[in-house]
Amino acid sequence: MSRKQETALETLEARIGHRFNNRALLQEALTHGSALDGARVKRSYDRLEFLGDRVLGLVVSERLLAENKSIEEGELAPRYNALVNKHACAAAARAADLGAAVVLSPSEEANGGRGKEAILADICESVIAAIYLDAGLEAARAFVHRFWGEAFDGVKATPRDAKTALQEWAAAKKKGLHYHVVDQTGPEHAPHFVIDAVVDGFPPSRGEGGSKRDAQRAAATAFLRARGENV
């Protein structure tokens, strides 16, 4: 590793608040699959992303339980979903400026990969996993609490479930509602769905997510917000 690369990783460590004992984990966490040809790191972030998603879910779940002792599961679930999704992960990645450090192929770089929400979300989860493997759950928890702080504050008021809200909106107007899968990509352990929310007589709205439910919820949210509804 060149001194310039070491300096870049040290700068990133300072931003995220964790100095790695095994910096190879951080390198792997930052390597997009497009960059594997000729890269020093021979594995992309896919496996770490798989683990990071689970670690993030655990940290978010335990904090929600700790901060909402009188709330039932039915109210906790939408708060959890608002914190563990592509948009929340990408926002955390931007806050930590992870995009500046991601390793991409020249073609993916030219296509704006450094700023793509899907890549930022994946990188964020892979970095969480790298921190967890390097120093344990407490270190990973510190990262999540640091970069999800405002997001946790934002869900203290019980959010309205977007799919339910859209169903009620469509029913009130006596309009049919269905969801159309536009695209499904990614490996089996980390799929990515693109789904349209379609209400009869209205232009569809599109959402994306790591599950059909998340993508449907994102599409429903986009549809309602486009019509001035608060969700």
Do the beta carbons of residue 42 and residue 169 sit within 8 Å? Answer: no
Q: Which of 28, 108, 125, 208 is catalytic?
A: 125
Give catalytic status of residue 153 as yes or no: no
Q: Which of 28, 49, 53, 122 is catalytic?
A: 53
> Which tokens in the block code for residue 112?
């704006």
CA 163 – CA 159 distance, rounded (Å): 12
Q: Provide the 3-class DSSP secondary structure of residue 185.
A: strand
CA 113 – CA 99 distance, rounded (Å): 9
Q: CA angle 37-125-191, nearest 5°?
A: 75
Strands (E) across the chain are located at: 177-185, 192-199, 205-209
Give catalytic status of residue 62 as yes or no: no
CA 121 – CA 49 distance, rounded (Å): 9
Residues noted as catalytic:
53, 125
